[in-house]
Amino acid sequence: MRALIQRVSEASVTVDGEVLGEIGAGLLILICAMQGDGEVQADRLAAKIAKLRIFKDDEGRMNRSVTDIGGSALVVSQFTLAADTSRGNRPGFSSAAAPEEGKRLYEYFAGQVAAQGIAVAKGRFGADMKVRLLNDGPVTIWMDTEN
């Protein structure tokens, strides 16, 4: 699985003018299931993200996790994280999981983040979403269970 994680002061996701999910301080997690991914990868990634120390401590050092600060997570599916730009100018997405499996793993991953004790808001898989965020730092981290 691939994830792009952003430390945010706030974030929201809207579909057709309706706000589906919004959070205050926490993490915006853009997530993509890749071919061959399963629950093992989702479990590992959710646990790693929950413990990722990217929030400031009292001395201003990145030493706290989202759980340490009582933050939330906005989990948004984004198959474009599977983009292959090695040939030509049009990205290919054939390495992304099939839509049915991608949706299942997206929902499962969001559930595993919640199981870590993090309040989770979500987007809608496959929808044309508008995501708003105020990146704090900025702090943006790329994670891939293949690495």
The one catalytic residue among 6, 41, 55, 79: 79
Angstrom distance (rounded) from CA 77 to CA 99: 11
Closest CA to 37 of 108, 90, 128: 108
Residue 58: which residues within 8 A CB-CB, separation 6 or more?
A: none
The one catalytic residue among 6, 41, 78, 112: 78
Angstrom distance (rounded) from CA 16 to CA 14: 7
Please say if 80 is a catalytic residue: yes
The residues that are catalytic are 78-80
